[in-house]
Structure 1
Amino acid sequence: MFLRAPRGLLRGALTLALAASATVVGSTVAQAAAPQLALSALSWEQSSVDVTTDYAANKLTWTVTNTDPDAESVRGTVTMRMRSSVTGALVGHDWVARYEYGQTCCSDAGYVSGTPQESTYQFHLPVRRYSDAATTTWEVTKLTMDSDDASAAVSGARLKSFGYAFSARTLIDSSGPTVDSISLGGLRKPYLYVGDRSATALYDFTVQDGQSGFWKGTIKLAGPGGQSVTTPFTWEREDYSTGFRCGSVSGGDRDGTYMPCSIGVTLPAGAAAGSWRVASLVLKNNAGGQTTYKNPTAPSITVTSNAAVQADDFTISPNPVDNWRDSAKTELSMSVTGARKGVSAVRVDFEYGGCYASGDPIVKDGRIAVAVTMYRQIERCRVEGIAVVDGGGAVALYGPAYAAPDPGLTVNRLPSTTAPVVLGASLDPATLTASEASYRSPTLTIRAAVQTAPVDGISVYLYDTDGEVASQSFGGTSQAEDGTVTSWVYLPWDIKPGRYTVGFGLDDAAGLSSHWDMADRSDSRSLPGGPLVLTITED
């Protein structure tokens, strides 16, 4: 059955539909185009460079456009590399130059002219004198652009529409990189703890290549059971400077002719316990030349997870120790299990070097003990690492120096809580004529109690009859074994005849102070035996 709607209702529905349509159309707003960065020009000044007789550079110039009218800066990098004419492959370390709008220094690309909407830059590339053939090619391999929220990069085929490359006549590199020596870096001792996590050993060496310069390399460690780890490395430019870094050490030069390296080789969790050695060091230069050192002379490391030998129940006794007046002796001991042929060595590292362990370990009451010396007045020594070595060469490691379980040991100095105490004092002489006072200083002898911390500082004051300071002096001092502290009373050259009272303050090595017969201090104490009076008479 067909139902006819009233005419007025149809007209209202049609009007609503048209209104809704108009609303949708009216809500459509044109979106502003996103800012765009583009490379509009790039070329080398010379299409060919000859560096066979001398060093030379080739100037690269490029222009960046930015459609953002409000942009105030442009920055980025340009990357250049050498391509072998023998293999056709890119070879050698890349050369990355930073650029920024308005910046005309320092050792990177320089701003030439323009605005943030269209700006031109240039960079003088030092062309390497050596390659793997008599000719080679240099190319721009990538250019990046950044401005506010916009960024872009140009690489690959897009660069070939510009003058992105030039050729160079070069000398042929006839040798590979060299290394004089390899040493361990970072480790306190040649041990590495590998428990349920990976661990890293550092190897230090300096690579030299006087022709094309060092590029990259690999270092391989070999361990028990055929296990091995190979780590690639190269040098990089520092993020916020013009310096260079190879591994964890900075230094060297931009050409790679001299490059110190500290390379971390990470052994995975569960790496085999025992001796790990440097099996090979492979070095490549910027011409692709290679030097391989097989089994080079280098220190091995002993890896452990503390499975064979274990130590526990660590103790330092006595602790604290009295090292206020001289170095003090104590003893670090532990229980050791699993050792074969006894314990041959216990090596202890302390934070900041305030203590040291010496001598061979001894067996004492069934425990392994080693002597420890704490230097004079060192406040505390935290144990950073303990290496327990058995007669068969197996090792157990403890402490943060080895990223191993921490025994939590600290040698502490005996606390001192009492300020210096004076038992009496005297002046010699106690009377001077005015003329004598111009060239003599009375000796002040203080009898102080021998306490935990020795007296090491003194201040001496001379008061007139009104309680005003007539003279003062201060400085370091020492305390004799019987407690005596000796100083002098400074007298002004124009001191007037009269009676003067001597007051003084004492400081000790613990930073505590006491004051005696000082009229201008509320915390001053009265001197036992009465005040010290200096009399100046007429001539």
Structure 2
Amino acid sequence: MQARKRPWRTRLLAVGVGGLLIGALAAGPAQAAEQEQQAGLRLTALAVEQDTVDATSGDATVTVDWTVADADTAATDLFGTLTVQQVGADGQLVGAPQDLTFSFEPQWPYQASAVAGTMASADYSYAFPVPQYAAGSTARWAVVGATARDDRGGTFTAGRDALAPYDAAFTATHLVDSTGPAYDGLGTVLDQPEYLYNADASVTAKYRLNITDAESGFFRGELVLGGPAGATASGTVRLIRQTDGTLRCGDYDGYDSHDVSCTVEVTLPAGAPAGAWSVSRVALTDASGNVGVTEGLSQDPVHLTQNSTVQASDFAIGPAQYNNWNGTAPLTITMKPSGYRDGIASVTVLLDGCAGSVTEHPEIASDGSISVRATVPPIYTRRCAVTGIGITDGTGASAAYGERFHGPALDLVATQIPDTAAPVVNAASLNITSVPKSALPRNAVLTLDVTSFVGVGGFSLTVYDASGASVGGSSGGVATVSSGRLDLVVRLYQDLTPGEYTVGFTLTDMGGLHTQYGYPGGHGLPVPGGPLRITVTDG
């Protein structure tokens, strides 16, 4: 590694010999001329301390020095970024840019802070970690961008042209990375609709894939979809570093650029050709600029439609009210397709709150309608709405309806039949009506004959002494009982004194309605067959 002796750095050190380091990094003629043309926040010096560096070990650094001046005397802090990137022999930027962040005051997550000076003119220095890999054994690197903002709203931005007068480049020796990234696990995301209606507006298809690059690490990628008659659409994704130091690629967070999960969105414009659009090409670029390309693909199609060939009408859902209180409930969605050829290949129905379905080659009834079955889960699903219907005929032409497919609106909603009847107890008895105190503690069994439209699912019971004071009880859930026998345990505790005790209880059904029986003071209903009494004797 060869160190450079910068004239401005020598002058700065000389100023610091006799006391505090108070000078700013001096600018050369070109930089000074640029400084005169700028006002407020500005970069006044920039350089690197090494001409060459060997990065093959993986731990090489190059020291970057710069100065930022701010004419706003009320400013107290600033934040900025320097961008370091490879520059090819043709002058084009290569591979991934490397951002170096800084602030005047030391603070996370900024990498560098001021080492000398004041807000009026502050010096910064940072040991930039040089990447171990490049596409060739040597690479030229340079500071190619700079931005800053202060806490008063002052800003500056400098691109390659503005930074060209500064001597801020170096040459590094690297291990050679000659291959681009690889991928696996390509497919649509879980909630990606199979059908997309794009007659009036653009729509988006989203894909996910896993990307690996053992040397330089992943940088960015492009996904191309191929549609009818050679039409194409593409989407791009880029690995970014977030403020907390983690990485993000599309919707996914990660920690390692060498093994990354990404999502890629591809926008299909309004009116793009109807038909199947499939992934046809994947191009992935690593941080060194190597590109891995896979072409000739045809997978994970989405069906684009304007409903111009195949249509459907007379949509219906039945029953309008379903009974799922005691188990799953069936639903039937019907429609009448038109404009189709070679029959109907498939119908996809998406629902909110219940399970949708895909029906292959549905039967076409004599009235021209087709039917699709769906299932409502038991008990807790109060509402089931159709959010998407997609139809494909035997030639591959399709139609799409509903918000999930961005198609014409549907108004297909079924609801749970309401729970209007609280549980009823037809008979009640205790298996123990008298017990000697010496036999306590002991459990009695309360046997009930119940009737409940939606099923009893919970209970509570309380044991009361002769004065009406509670001396024990229990509560909880039970296996759902719609009619017939229900056994509940009545716990008789050891500290019960001889005397007469009564039992009151509440039954709650799966819809939340409840009925009370046998509570002191006439609360609730009387127990069928009379009060539930247990006598504790002296024996």
TM-score range, shorter chain: 0.7 to 0.9
Match of 2:197 in 1: 193
Match of 2:82 in 1: 78
Shift of 1:114: 6.1
Match of 1:57 in 2: 61
Match of 1:176 in 2: 180
TM-score by length of 2: 0.84
Percentage of pairs with the same residue? 32
Contact 2:109–2:244 (Cα < 8 Å) also in 1:
no
Distance 1:442 1:331 in 2: 48
In the alignment, does 2:69 pair up with 1:68? Answer: no
Question: Where in structure 2 are the equivalents of 1:293-308 lying within 5 Å?
Answer: 293-296=294-297, 298-308=299-309
Structure 1 residue runs of 4+, over 6 Å off?
A: none
Contact 2:86–2:95 (Cα < 8 Å) also in 1:
yes
Question: Where in structure 2 are the equivalents of 1:32-181 lying within 5 Å?
Answer: 36-84=40-88, 86-106=89-109, 108-110=111-113, 112=115, 116-117=119-120, 119-147=122-150, 148-160=152-164, 162-181=166-185
In structure 2, the CA distance between the partners of 1:355 and 1:290, relative to structure 1 (3 Å rule), is closer
Contact 1:249–1:261 (Cα < 8 Å) also in 2:
yes
Distance 1:124 1:410 in 2: 63
Which of residues 239, 246, 251 in structure 1 aligns to 2:249? 246
What amino acid does structure 2 have at the position aligned with 1:513?
Answer: H
Match of 2:374 in 1: 372
What amino acid does structure 2 have at the position aligned with 1:134?
Answer: S
Shift of 1:488: 0.9
Tell me the secondary structure at the aligned position of residue 271 of structure 2.
Answer: coil
Which deviations, in whole Å up to 9, do the C-alpha atoms of 1:4-46 show, x marking residues without a partner?
Answer: xxxxxxxxxxxxxxxxxxxxxxxxxxxxxx9922334444354
Shift of 1:295: 1.1
Distance 2:280 2:402 in 1: 29
Contact 1:182–1:297 (Cα < 8 Å) also in 2:
no
Q: Relative to structure 2, which stretch is displaced further, 366-375 or 198-207?
A: 198-207
For structure 1, the residue ranges without an aligned partner over 5 or more in a row are 1-33
Shift of 1:140: 1.8
Distance 2:118 2:427 in 1: 83
In the alignment, does 2:529 pair up with 1:529? Answer: yes
Tell me the secondary structure at the aligned position of residue 245 of structure 2.
Answer: coil
Larger Rg computed on CA atoms: 1
What amino acid does structure 2 have at the position aligned with 1:528?
Answer: P
Shift of 1:342: 1.9
Contact 2:459–2:476 (Cα < 8 Å) also in 1:
yes
Distance 1:529 1:109 in 2: 85
TM-score by length of 1: 0.84
In structure 2, the CA distance between the partners of 1:246 and 1:537, relative to structure 1 (3 Å rule), is same
Tell me the secondary structure at the aligned position of residue 525 of structure 1.
Answer: coil
Contact 1:461–1:504 (Cα < 8 Å) also in 2:
yes
Match of 1:290 in 2: 291
Cα RMSD of the aligned pairs, angstroms, is 2.7
Contact 1:515–1:524 (Cα < 8 Å) also in 2:
yes
Distance 1:77 1:39 in 2: 12
Question: Where in structure 2 are the equivalents of 1:119-518 lying within 5 Å?
Answer: 119-147=122-150, 148-160=152-164, 162-238=166-242, 240-251=243-254, 253=256, 256-296=257-297, 298-351=299-352, 354-357=354-357, 360=360, 361-364=362-365, 366=367, 367-377=369-379, 378-438=381-441, 440-451=442-453, 453-518=454-519
Tell me the secondary structure at the aligned position of residue 297 of structure 2.
Answer: coil
What amino acid does structure 2 have at the position aligned with 1:77?
Answer: T
In structure 2, the CA distance between the partners of 1:311 and 1:454, relative to structure 1 (3 Å rule), is same
For structure 2, the residue ranges without an aligned partner over 5 or more in a row are 1-37
In structure 2, the CA distance between the partners of 1:482 and 1:133, relative to structure 1 (3 Å rule), is closer
Shift of 1:116: 4.8
Distance 1:305 1:71 in 2: 57
Contact 2:387–2:410 (Cα < 8 Å) also in 1:
no
Tell me the secondary structure at the aligned position of residue 415 of structure 1.
Answer: coil
